Structure 1
Amino acid sequence: MAWSIRSRVSSFLGSEVGVMGSLFHWDTCWRTVPFSVPTNSSSAVSSRTRPWPKFVSILKLFWFSYVNFSLILWFSYFQMNWARMDSCYAAASFKEKQSENKDTDVRNMAEAGGEHALFGLMKQRFLSFKNHKYMKELEHFQALSKAQYPKFMVIACADSRVCPSNILGFQPGEAFMIRNIANLVPLMKNGPSECNAALEFAVTTLEVENILVIGHSSCAGIENLMKIQEDVESRSFINKWVTNGNVAKLRTKAATAHLSFAQQCRFCEKESINQSLLNMLSYPWIEDKVRSGLLSLHGGYYNFSSCTFEKWTLDFNGCTVNEESSSYVIKEQEFWS
């Protein structure tokens, strides 16, 4: 494309030079045209050659200046377009190369056979982060080394396919995170766990303004919860943990008895998120802040098969939390696709 435009410009410049050559030829010829004066009986003046009038020389100078100025304008115009096209081609090439490097990086991680190869690739990623992110935002990262002021706490599943920083673009310092099997939040009465310890730190020390619980499609933890037999005691740490979602399981069974097991699991994946939001209200230091409007509780659901995201907010005024039963109302639902 760029070469074809340059060829046209060359043709144009050649045509302009031709015009100037014709002008020289025209001037030379007409300089020698005889200028005749009518004769009469009283006086006769023979034909003679007169020089070209002075004003034509001025006209010629003006014409040459106009042609030269036009050539300069045309050349500048095409030069700007060439530069613009070159920058576009360079940007497109950079993006394509970046995408290829990323795909190659993912394949390398998947194909790396030994521990040394895996950590070698990890080292490359770290150095890339340092050179292209950390050093370019050095002042920001130095400020983060002294303190953190995140607006969000995120509770997400430990599934390797569901990384909140990648999906939602959280940058360092923006979200305090904890990840566990099936993104569950236990009731306060169930005793201490790393989840409620993280909740306490985020709410009372960091004073986050939002807590976001993110579930996802094809969650193995929820599937495991739906398969557990009620009358069978298990020594599995996984089984004991996912029973924190038993209330969501019972609600799912009651609402989806006519559906397939896979559909019941999809329903429970979202129901367990809302149950975790309700469970957080069993912690007094969370309930007080939500009641006063200083803290909001949100749910999110990521479907990585269709790459869609659902977001909603717990409506505290419509919720009921007690020992016998609990109910919830959600608001501000959004669907991102």
Structure 2
Amino acid sequence: MVWPIIGYRMCSLLRSKVQSMGSFIHREPVWCLPFSGLTSTSVVSSRTRPLTKVMSWTKPYCGHAATSSFKEQQPEDSSNCHRLSPENKDLDVGNMAETDGNQDLFDLMKKRFLSFKKHAYIKELEHFQALAEAQSPKFLVIACADSRVCPSNILGFQPGDAFMIRNIANLIPAMKNGPSECNAALEFAVTTLQVENIFVIGHSRCAGIETLMNMQDVQSRNFIHKWVANGEVAKLRTKAATAHLSFDQQCRFCEKESINQSLVNMLSYPWIEDRVRRELLSLHGGYYNFKNCSFEKWTLDFKECNVTEEGRSYAVKEQEFWG
């Protein structure tokens, strides 16, 4: 069963609390169950740390995002949404897809940079100078490398808000799979920057997940195949739960199932598991559907998870639908 889309308006959902209907627990051999409810319960860390500037959520695409999920709140500041500000119309200086020639692309890039310097950097000079000395992001975001899925654009992350990892299909390999650039960045963000939230963001029509679902054991594996094989458990769960569905529907299912697999995989890193156990770190999943511009968010329920060599089960909580 594909997770249902709830027909709530974004603004009313995000500005009002809805009654929690409880989390669902996914236990083998059931493989996967759909979300059973929505709640706007906030994730609050037990640790506080100075922030140079709290995330400023803007509304360039889908309306206001929920600031209530964060420990600190600030009033909305339209100056962070340059495209909508009348005095900053010259920021929207063109579309790269409509330009011809390599030099034109860099000319456009230069205009965008100079516009950023004029309308963002100079106006927030103190903030950017503080960032030049140190960073203390609240989030580690793992997102797909897909050019259509930019977390800063979609969710309004500002400089200093989030440490970013982007790879094919937003996958996090288990620790036993050995070192990679991905888990090196993961270690730095958790042990050095001490982020309080890890947010794995998947999306609709993911080519990496489609490749995973199409892979056959006899297939010769290139770099892409070897990487997406990190989602093999999610593929097996999907095949077991959705044998009656079309291939396209199976891919949509696996796009979300792979996010949960990555969340569980992170518990195989002892320095992540320790911080989650002590409630210094929360693990979250998100799914962006760019066909209808909607977003689903949930949090891994660590207390209900059971991860062993023999098998694993997981539960999620604080499920929300924005759109």
**In 2, Cα distance between the equivalents of 1:270 and 1:288?**
25
Distance 1:286 1:226 in 2: 29
Aligned CA distance change for structure 1 residues 100 and 135 (closer, same or farther; 3 Å): closer
2:155 matched residue in structure 1: 168
1:233 CA displacement: 3.3
Match for residue 270 of structure 2 among 264, 271, 284: 284
Q: How far apart in 1 are the matches of 2:110 and 2:91?
A: 15
What percentage of residue pairs aligned between the two structures are identical? 75
Which has the bigger relative contact order, CA under 8 A and spacing at least 6? 2
* Letter matched to residue 236 of structure 2: L
1:133/1:101 CA distance change after superposition, 3 Å: closer
1:30-69 mapped onto 2 (5 Å cutoff)? none
Aligned-partner residue type, residue 220 of structure 1: A
The corresponding residue for 1:121 is: 108
* Cα deviation, residue 100, structure 1: 9.0
- Higher helix proportion, which one? 1
Secondary structure in 2 aligned to 1:332?
A: strand
- Whole-Å separation in 1 of the counterparts to 2:307 and 2:166: 25
1:243-270 alpha-carbon deviations (Å, 9 max, x no partner): 0000000000000000000000000000
The answer to whether residue 282 in structure 2 is matched with residue 293 in structure 1 is no
Aligned pairs for 1:1-337 within 5 A: 102=92, 105-106=94-95, 109-234=96-221, 236-337=222-323
- Distance (Å, rounded) in 1 between the aligned partners of 2:128 and 2:88: 24
Asked if the contact 2:91/2:116 (under 8 Å) is kept, the reply is no
Contact 2:215-2:225 at 8 Å conserved across structures: yes
1:30 is aligned to none
Report deviation, 1:231: 3.0
Segments of structure 2 that go 5 or more residues without pairing to the other structure are 1-83
**Which residue does 2:4 correspond to in 1?**
none
Gaps of 5+ in 1: 1-93
With over 3 angstroms needed to count, the CA separation of the structure-2 counterparts of 1:97 and 1:259, relative to structure 1, is farther
Letter in 1 for 2:260: N
Aligned equivalents of 1:199, 1:101: Cα separation in 2: 34
Tell me: CA distance 1:145–1:99, structure 2 relative to 1, closer, same or farther (3 Å).
closer
Query: What one-letter code is carried by the residue in structure 1 that aligns with 2:293?
Result: C
Q: What CA distance in whole angstroms lies between the structure 2 residues aligned with 1:101 and 1:126? A: 9
Q: What secondary structure sits across from 2:320 in the alignment?
A: strand
CA RMSD of aligned residues (A): 1.5
Alpha-carbon separation, structure 2, partners of 1:187 and 1:225: 17
Tell me how far 1:111 sits from its aligned partner: 2.2
Question: Would you say the 8 A contact 2:305–2:313 is kept in 1?
Answer: yes
Cα distance in 1 for residues equivalent to 2:321 and 2:186: 27
Which amino acid in the other structure matches residue 308 of structure 2? Answer: N
C-alpha distance in structure 1 between counterparts of 2:89 and 2:247, whole Å: 39
- What secondary structure is seen at the aligned counterpart in 2 of 1:329? strand
Q: Using the TM superposition, give the Cα deviation of residue 95 of structure 1 relative to its aligned residue in structure 2, in angstroms.
A: 5.6
Give the 3-state SS of the residue equivalent to 1:312 in structure 2: strand
Question: Relative to structure 1, is the Cα distance of residues 143 and 128 closer, same or farther in structure 2, using a 3 angstrom cutoff?
Answer: same
When the two structures are aligned, how many residues end up with a matched partner? 240
